[in-house]
Structure 1
Amino acid sequence: MTDQKRGNPTKLKDIIEKLDKYKYSDKGEKTGTNIRNAYEKILESISLEEAHNKVDFDETQHVIIMFTDGIYNSGGNPKGIVGQIREKVIRDKKDREKYLDLYAFGVGEDIEKEKMDEWVSKRDTNEKYFFILPNMEEVEETLDKMLDEGTSMALCGLYKSYSDSELKSSMRLTYPWLIKIVITYNGNTANCIGSLVTPRFILTAAHCFRFDDVNDQIKLEALNSKDIQIPGVEKFYLHEKFNTTKKQDKGITEFYEYDVALIQLTEGVKISPDLRTICVPCTEEAHAALQLPASEASCAKHREMLLDSDLMNAHFITHDALTSKKPKQQVLIKQNQWRDDCIEQTTKILNVEKEKAEEMFTDKFLCTGGETPNFIDDISCKGDSGGPLVVEKNRLFQVGIISWGLKDICEDEMEKVDGRDFHIHLFDPEVQNFLQKYLGDEEIDTPLNFF
C-alpha cells in the first residue's frame, strides 16, 4: 500500500496477484510463526505514512485484520507492538479511538483466545472485533457481516458474486444498488430503474416522471431482493433544463437532454452487502475506489480512467433481472470515430437528415448498440429506463443513465444489430452541477464530496 502511494501502481498489482494466489493452508508443517513481526511490519508501514504526511495520517482510519490461530514460536507476544500501534494512532485521546480498528480472526481448532483478545479494539460499541472460526471457508460470510458500514460511503461499487445455485435459492443479484421504480397515475403505470448513489438518494431518468406527480404515487423496491425494505419518497428532483419539447420547432417531437432525476428518501437506507451504493465519478469516494493519488483528483482524470477507449466495455442490468435468463447486458460505449456510427444509424432508423440526427444525439449523450468486430451489443427494453450504465475499474462506476433508444426491438434478437441506445453522460458539467447540488448538500445526511 505504501508503494502505491509512492507512485508505483505496478507493485500494487503484483501484491494483489500474490494475495489471489495465496492459500492459507500452504503453510503446511512449517514452523517459525512470528506474529509479533507481522505487527512490527504494520507499525513500520503506518510510521512511514505519518512521516510522509502528518495531516493526512491524522485523518486516516486505520483498519488492521489478523488471521491466525494465535500460536507463535518465535518473536514473543505481539501485545507490546499492538500497544505501540494504539499509541501511534490514538495517542491516549478518547476522540481518536474511532481512527483505529483492530480485528482478529482466530482460525482453526486450537486457538489462543486469551492472547488474541489482547490484540483487538475494546471500544465501547456493539461492534465485534474478535472472531473464532473453524476454517477459512467461513471467513467470507463473516466479512460480509463486517462490511455493514452504516453511513460510510467509502465502499461504493462493491458487489458480491453468487454462484448459479445461490442465485436460484436466494433470488439475489450481484448488484446491490439497483432500485425498481413504479409510478402510478390515472390508472396507468410507468416502470423504471434507479441506482442508489447515497443512502438517501436514488439516481434515475427524468422522463420517468411528470412534473405534477406526487410522492405517494412513487413506489420503490430493491431489485436485489424483495425482502429489503426501501423507505418512502420525501421529494424528487428533475434537472431544471429537462424539456422534451425544446426542439419541436426543428421537427424533433421528443428531446431528452438532461434526462436525469434524483429521488430523495424519507430516511437513509441501512447499507449492507445486499444494499449499497454505486460509485459516482468526480467524487472523493469514487477517487478512493479508483486508487488514485490525491494530486490527481479531477473530473478529467476520472473520465480518462473510466472512458479510456473508443469502444469502452460497459454493461447494464435489465429490469426483470431476477427472472431473466441473462440479467447482465454487455455493451460497448461508442466514442470518437465510432460515435459517427450512432449518427448514421439514427438517420437510417428515424429517416431523418444527418443535421437533425446530430440535434437529437448531442455530446451530452453516450451511445451503445450495434455491431463491431466480433461483437453485437445488447439493447435496452421497456422498463430499463433510468438504470445505470456502468464501467468496471476495481469496482463498478456509473457513467451514464439509460434514456432513449431508436426503436423497441429487444424481443427480436435478429434485429438487435439495428438498435442504438442513448445514455445521459454523467461527466457533462451541467449534469455534474445538478448532482452536486443535491448529493453534495451537507444539510442532508451522508453527502458525497464532489471535486
Structure 2
Amino acid sequence: MYAWPVSSRICQASGQWSIMESKTRWKYTKIYCKEMRCPNPDRFDNGEYFPRGPYKVGDNITFVCSDGYIPRGSMERTCKSNAKWSGETAVCDDGAGHCPDPGEPPGARKTGLRYDVDERVSYTCALGLDLVGSAKRTCLESRRWSGTEVSCQYPYAFDLPEDVGQQFAGSLSGLLNTYEKKAAVGRTVKIKKDGILNVYLLLDASESVGENNFDISKKSIEDLVNRLGSFDMIVQFGIMSYATETKVIINVHDKDSSDVDYVLEEIENKLIYNEHRNKQGTNIKGALTSVYNMMAFQKGQYKEDEWNSIQHVIILLTDGKSNMGGRPVDMINRIREFLDIKPTREDYLDIYAFGIGEEVDRSELNDIASKKDNEKHIFTLEDSEKIKAVFSEITKIENYGEMCGLNDESSSDRKLHHPWNVLINVSKENAGGTSPCFGSLISSQWILTAAHCFKGHTMDQYTFEIGSATYKAELRIIHKCYNIIRKANRGIKEDYDYDVALVKLTEKVEFSSSARPICLPCTEMANRAMKKPKTATCNDHRQHLLSSVSSIPAGFLAKSKDKKELEELKVEIQHNNAREDCISTIKKWDKFHNITNLQDMVSPRHLCVNGEMSCKGESGGSLFVDIRDRKRFFQVGILSFGIYNPCEKKTVRKPSSNARDFYVNVLEVLPFLRKHLEGELQFLPGIPDLEEIVCPA
C-alpha cells in the first residue's frame, strides 16, 4: 500500500494539527491508501500473455510465443513489493532483423517495427507512468541497440536495495575487470593493468536532505572509496558536496587524489553538511560544472593518448530535483563533448544518478544518467537508510581478473572465503599416518606450502582441493637447504629451517570467487595491490609488510569445530625487538628443557607468532596481513611448526598464553621462489640469486 497524496501535517503551538499538504503544496482534507500495482503490458507482439491485469504485488504473469518465434527475456514475471516486475522484458523474436527485437516493456508503447542498421524505435509510457531509459534507440552495426532499455514506472515505485547493488556492481564490473579484454555486462573492458579510473562523487547537501541523511550518504561513499581503492588500477577521486553552491573537497587532479588514506581523511574532516548553511538550494548543474572544470584542468597534465585512455565515472547522490542553476543535462552534454564520447568511446564515461526520497524527479535524473545497453545507471531509493545496503553490495564484483589477494565477501558460504587456500590430502591407502596439509595458490598453476608436508609419497598420491575442484600435481620442488634431520646430533629431532615447497598442478586453475591467488611479496601483482610505483624494489615491500613496529596483526586459516569449513584466526607477528622474547617462551615447556640454544630450534628464517594457535593438519597454510584494512591480503609466512597443539584430544581449540607458532618468512625464501617461478610471476629487483644462498650446517 502507499499513501496518496504523499502528505504531512505539523503539530502547531495551538495544539491543533496544520492543514494537510502534499509535497506539491496542494492542500487536502483526506489522505487515501491505495494498493500498489505493476504496470500493465500495452500489447505483446507475436505471442500471448495471461492473466490480464490489473496486477497487484505478488501476482504473476506468463508470456507465450506463437509458433516460429524465439522467446527471449523472462517468460514468467512477478510483481515485486516495489511495484516493479521481476526479470527482463519478454520478447518473441523472428530473428529477421539486424538487431534483436527490443521488445515492449509493460506500460510502454513502441513505435517502429524495422530492426535493420540505422533504423530507430521510440517509446512512450502510459499516463501516470514515468519513463526511465532511452526514449529513442538506434540499431547499430554491432547488432546492439543504442542507449538502454525503457522502463515505465509509477511515482511510488522505488528500487529495492539488493537490486540496485547487483545492477550497479554489474555495471562497474566492466570497469574493474582490469586484465582480460572480454565482454562484461555488454561492454568491452578498456582499463588495463596500471590504468587510470577517475571517480567523481557528488553529494547533495540541500536543505531537504537534512544532516542525518547527509551523514548516512557520507559514510556510504567512504566505504565505496575504501573498496575501490583496493583494486589494482589507479583510482583518482574527485569529491564534492553541493547545494546552492558547490564545495570541492578533493580535486581529481590533486597529487594525493589516489591516496585512499588521504581521501578518507579529507572526507571525514571536510565533507560537512553545515558548510552549506543558508545556501541550501539544489544546483546540480553547478556541481557538474565543477566536474567539468576538474577534467579541463587535468587534461593539461597528460599526453593526448594518455588522456584518452582514462575512464571517468560520475556518481551523483541527490534527494530531489534541481531547482536552480539551469538544466543539468546541458553540462552533461558539454562533458560528453569534451571527452569526445561517441559510439566508439561510450565506455570512457559512466554517469550514475541516485535519487533518494519522495520528490525524485525521474525525468531529470534520466537526462543526466548514462544510457547503455544491458546496463542501468539511474536508481531511486525511498530514503538514505537504503543507500547503506546498496553501497555494501556495489563492489562485490563477480570477475576480478587476475587481481591477487582478494577475499570475496559476497558469498554466504564461508568455504568460499580466502579463496587462495589449498587443502592437500594423501590417498587413504597411502597415507600411513600422514596428516593433511594446507597450501596457498600463488598463481594459476603453482601452490606454496611446507616441505615437511611431503613424507615418502609420490606426487600421484596427493590431491589438491581448491574451491570446489580437486587437482593433481605434476611437479614438487623442495628448497635446496631443507634437511629435517640436519640437527639430530644436537638433540633437535626435526629441523624446520627452509621448510618450503612449491607444487605445480597438472592444469591451470580458472580464477573465480572461490579460487584465486594470494599476493606474493616482491611481485608485480603485489606491487599493484600495494599501489607502489613501478620503480619499487623488494625492500619497499619488506618495509610495507614487516615494518619497524614490534607487533604486526596477521591472520591464518584454521579448520572450524566441525572441520567442514575454514575460519580466519587472528595472531600477532612478534618482530624486531619483540622476536627474542617471543622465542624465549619455548623454555617454559618441559619438553624443550634440553634445548640449550633456541636458535638451533628456531632459524632466522622463521617468524614467531602468538595469539590463536594452529592445529595439526594446518601446516603449510598461509600467514597473511591486510595492510590498512584494504581487503587485499599478502602472504608473509608459511606455517612450519608449533610448540603446542590446541586441538589435541579436544573438540575445540584450547588456548595457551605460552603457545607459539613458527612460520617460514616468505621474504627470506624469495630467491627460491624467483628461481622456479620467474616465468610464471614477475619479480621486483632486489632479490638475491638462489645460488648465492649458503645452506646452514
Please, what TM-score do these two structures have when normalized by structure 2? Answer: 0.49
Q: Contact 2:435–2:616 (CA<8 Å) still a contact in 1? A: no
- Give the equivalent residue in structure 2 for 1:207: 452
1:106 and 1:133 in contact (8 A); partners too? yes
Q: Does 1:352 align with 2:611?
A: no
2:637 to 390, 394, 400: 400
Q: Which of residues 467, 492, 517 in structure 2 aligns to 1:277?
A: 517
Residue matched to 2:541: 302
Q: What is the deviation of 1:358?
A: 0.5
Q: Is the 8 A contact 1:384 1:402 kept in 2?
A: yes
Name the residue aligned to 1:190: 435
Measure the CA separation in 2 of the matches of 1:341 and 1:233.
Answer: 40
CA contact (8 A) 1:239 1:258 kept: yes
- Asked whether 1:313 is paired with 2:548, we answer no
Instruction: Tell me the distance in 2 between the aligned counterparts of 1:106 and 1:230.
Output: 44
| Residue in 2 that maps onto 1:65 | 313
| Structure 2 residue 581 is matched with structure 1 residue 341 | yes
Residues 266-308 of structure 1 show CA distances to partners (whole Å, capped at 9, x for unaligned) of 444333444333222112322232233445x122222222222
> What is the CA distance between 1:141 and its match in structure 2?
4.0
Find the counterpart in structure 2 of residue 265 from structure 1.
505
Q: Which residue of 2 aligns with 1:26?
A: none
TM-superposed deviation, 1:366: 0.1
Q: 1:254 to 1:275 in 2, by over 3 A?
A: same
Q: Which one has the largest radius of gyration?
A: 2
Classify 1:263/1:106 alpha carbon distance in 2 versus 1 (closer, same or farther; 3 Å): farther
Label 1:144 to 1:11 Cα distance change in 2 as closer, same or farther (>3 A). Answer: closer
Residue 120 of structure 2: aligned partner: none
* Matched-pair contact (CA < 8 Å) for 2:624–2:635: yes
Q: Residues 24-39 of structure 1: matches in 2 within 5 Å?
A: 31-34=282-285, 36-37=288-289, 39=291
1:158 pairs with 2:406:
yes
Partner secondary structure for residue 517 of structure 2: coil
Question: For structure 2, which runs of at least 5 residues remain unmatched after alignment?
Answer: 1-235, 237-252, 274-279, 382-386, 686-697
Contact 1:215 1:235 in 2 (8 A): no
Q: Which residue of 2 aligns with 1:437?
A: 675
CA contact (8 A) 2:450 2:640 kept: yes
CA change 1:43–1:274 in 2 (3 A) is farther
Partner residue of 1:175? 418
DSSP 3-state at the match of 2:438:
strand
The alignment yields a C-alpha RMSD, in angstroms, of 4.1
Structure 1 segment 219-234 matched on structure 2, within 5 A = 219-222=464-467, 228-229=468-469, 231-234=471-474
Is the Cα contact below 8 Å between 1:318 and 1:384 reproduced in 2?
Answer: yes
Aligned pair in 2 of structure 1 residues 269, 20: CA closer, same or farther (>3 Å)?
farther
Distance 1:157 1:186 in 2: 35
- Contact persistence 2:421–2:438 (CA under 8 A): yes
Q: Find 1:364's aligned residue among 605, 609, 626.
A: 605
Deviations 1:373-409 (A, max 9, x none): xxxx111101211111111213322111111011323
Q: CA deviation at 1:20?
A: 11
Distance (whole Å) between structure 1 residues aligned to residue 539 and residue 607 of structure 2: 16
Conservation of the 8 A alpha-carbon contact between 1:220 and 1:232 = no
Cα distance, 1:32 vs. partner? 1.7
* Separation in 2, partners of 1:12, 1:114: 30
Contact 2:473/2:504, CA 8 A, preserved across alignment: yes
Measure how far apart 1:41 and its partner are: 5.2
Q: Is the 8 A contact 2:476 2:502 kept in 1?
A: yes
Name the stretch that deviates more: 74-83 or 393-402.
Answer: 74-83
Write the deviation string for residues 304-350 of structure 1: whole angstroms up to 9, x where unpaired.
22222212111212033886899222211112332222432334432
1:113-164 CA deviation, whole Å, 9 max, x = no partner? 687446x6x9xxxxx665555545446545323x5033x33xx2233446xx
Instruction: Assess if the C-alpha contact under 8 Å between 1:133 and 1:139 holds in 2.
Output: no
Structure 1: state its 5+ residue gaps: 23-28, 123-127, 223-227, 370-376
Match of 1:372 in 2: none
Q: Greater relative contact order: 1 or 2 (C-alpha under 8 angstroms, separation 6 or more)?
A: 1
Q: Which moved more, 1:282-291 or 1:411-420?
A: 411-420
User: Which residue among 269, 288, 298 is the counterpart of 2:528?
Assistant: 288
Q: Is the 8 A contact 1:316 1:388 kept in 2?
A: yes
**What does residue 82 of structure 1 align with?**
336
TM-score relative to the length of structure 1: 0.73
Query: Which runs of at least 4 in structure 1 moved beyond 6 Å after TM superposition?
Result: 6-9, 18-22, 69-72
